[in-house]
Chains A and B, each alone.
Chain A
Amino acid sequence: MSRLSMGALLRRSLIHRRARSFSALIALTVSAAVVTALLTLYADLDSKLHHEFRTFGANIVVTASDSSKGLPSDAIGTVRTAAGADANAAEFGYAVATTDRGTPVVVAGTDFSAVRTLNSWWKVDAWPSTADPSAALLGQRAAQFVADEHNLQLTFGDRPITLHGTGRLHTGGDEDSRIYVPMQVFTTWTWAKPSVIEVQVPGGEARVESAISRLRQAMPEAKVQPVRQLVEGESRIVDKTHALMYGAVLLIALTVAVSVLATLSASVLERRRDFALMKALGGSHSTLMAMFLLEALILAVGGVVAGFVIGSAAAWTISQLDFHTATLPRLGVMPLVLLLNLLIAAFAALLPVRVLRRLEPAALLKGE
């Protein structure tokens, strides 16, 4: 080494006391990882519930009171008339068929163009053309149960059918394990009728309520229910989870802060003589303070980098295992994680800074 700089000094000091540096780094990494994982998962859940489900998708569902009979044949027309011109509606029929691998799978008949407008939040890589009567849309989990997506062999009762999948559907919900086919194909194949109509009425609660009462009047034989309540109930749970999560983050931050505080204090106390010597050699108060704080900063930022990677990987694994969806790393949570770690480091540095401020080289350098 031909030059001695602040950077070289810090590197030497951190490496020399690697056990201490490492334990502080681990603590700061843990806090960053847990916070990253929580925030990433939460942001994912939050955006699904609050934004996607609420803004898009159905807010009224009409179901047949007797599901084996299905809805009356002109139900979709009646619903469209009763709900109003600006409402979107799509009908669904359900049946359980068997794939060529012998796996039972839910087949849903629907009108692709209506679904596409209604559920604009669905992630579909290629929508089937409405002109193609044998096109099917495979949920991403359902696709794993078939031998060949492009030569899709299904059997209902003793009636086989051959379709071809055009694309995959990905919602993170039940839809992922279904195979969607055109309603025309569905009814001629399974002889079942549509049993569910999902309706989206734009506007506030009042408009939805009045649409519901009009629908109930027009279709006394069907069940008409708001979807909104369900969603709002779920979002209330999310809001509670929200508070719980911040509580957990705070607790983790405090625990980590205390352990980092102990490490940093010890690292200053055991180096009091080194600092005293540097002062005797002409090092100013601010230089020594800068050296120590920079060391804490390096550990905090190192913890954020390592913790972000680990936390994002954890969020991805958890969402894979529990929700069968991939939660991708969100760079957006980084500033918050960084801020938290900096706060922890700043808190942990309070005591050592006091020790440094009161440093008396004369007393320290004198004797034993």
Chain B
Amino acid sequence: MENPIDLETRPDCAVIALHSVTREYTGHAGTVRALDHASFSIVAGEWVAITGPSGSGKSTLVNLIGCLDRPTAGELRIDGEDVAKMSATELDRFRADKIGFIFQQFHLIPYLSALENIMLAQYFHSMTDEKEARAALERVGMGHRAEHLPSELSGGEQQRVCIARALINNPPILLADEPTGNLDAANQKIVAELLQDLHAHGHTIVMVTHDPEMAGLAQRKIALSHGKVFCHPVGGPVVSLRK
């Protein structure tokens, strides 16, 4: 029997495993291959930075891992499950369970307070729990701004709310597409420290970044160029699994 996943990438404890994943966009102007036979694994508790020039396929990759999109070809396993085999409804459910999103544009609902934005993630996942939502805000240092609307918060503060929202359902994977892309140096530092704290607590983090300083915080880099992946195999001892 053929093992579909490269042994070198430690598939035994892989929380994300890609085998020859290709994603093509077909439009009126022809077909664009945004991701070209990508194969790699990410183990639980790892902090991986995805880097590469603009248009190299970073967002495409993150959307695939986040189950917002499906591969054109190849196999993608998240937490051991083959994403291609799931129905659209199962995928919605799966995404709510497994993935916490941190966006460059924050994407908070404008008419809900910081607290309610976090409770919204609870609502779509299972049940709302105000106490837990407040605790998540405290954790990112935003407890005192719980009742404020996104428009009343600075960019850095909105991103902290966004991180609290990504954490609230305790997903095994945190996905961040340019989490500091819209932030100044001071706020970037706050977000970086938050991510370091989360990593220290065992969260798996996959982060797209253009910033070499941010990329330097990660344990491993996955470089993309024209849809092709260049990555180092998982090195050293397997890091502690998420709590």
Contacts and interface: CB of A to CB of B under 8 A. Distances in A.
Query: Interface extent on B, as a size class?
Result: 20 to 34
Contacts of A15: 111
A277 B92 contact: no
Contacts of A13: 111
B111 A281 contact: no
A240 B92 CA distance: 56
A362 B130 contact: no
B110 interface: yes
Top-7 shortest CB links A-B = A282-B96, A16-B111, A362-B68, A362-B63, A282-B124, A4-B119, A362-B69
Given A4-B116, A284-B92, A362-B68, A278 B124 contact: yes
Contacts of A280: 66, 68, 95, 101
Nearest to B110: A16
Contact of A12 (B92, B112, B123): B112
Contact of A2 (B96, B111, B130): B130
Contacts of A273: 107
Interface string B98-126: 00010111010111110010011111110
Contacts of B88: 285
A366 interface: yes
Given A282-B92, A282-B95, A282-B125, A12 B130 contact: no
A9 B116 CA distance: 9
Interface string A262-280: 0000000000011001111
A279 B107 contact: no
Which interface residue of B97, B116, B165 has the most chain A CB atoms within 10 A? B116
B107 A12 contact: no
B188 interface: no
B128 A279 contact: no
Given A284-B89, A361-B68, 13 more contacts: A1-B116, A4-B128, A277-B109, A279-B92, A281-B96, A282-B125, A284-B92, A284-B93, A285-B89, A285-B92, A362-B63, A362-B68, A366-B177
Interface string A9-43: 10011011100000000000000000000000000
B196 interface: no
B93 A282 contact: yes
A84 interface: no
A283 interface: yes
B170 interface: no
11 contacts: A3-B128, A4-B119, A4-B120, A4-B123, A273-B107, A280-B101, A282-B92, A365-B105, A366-B63, A367-B59, A367-B105
Which interface residue of A4, A17, A281, A365 has the most chain B CB atoms within 10 A? A281
Nearest to A16: B111
Interface string B53-88: 000000100010010110000000000000000001
Contact of B120 (A279, A281, A284, A366): A281
B79 to A, nearest CB: 15
Interface string B27-71: 000000000000000000000000000000001000100101100
A365 B89 contact: no
B87 to A, nearest CB: 11
Nearest to B68: A362
Which interface residue of B89, B92, B128 has the most chain A CB atoms within 10 A? B92
Interface string B7-29: 00000000000000000000000
A277 B121 CA distance: 10
A303 to B, nearest CB: 22
Interface string B147-186: 0000000000000000001000000000001000000000
A81 interface: no
A287 interface: yes
Contacts of B104: 367
Nearest to B121: A281
Which interface residue of B93, B113, B119, B123 has the most chain A CB atoms within 10 A? B123
Contacts of B92: 279, 282-285
A110 to B, nearest CB: 71
Nearest to B103: A365
A277 B107 contact: yes
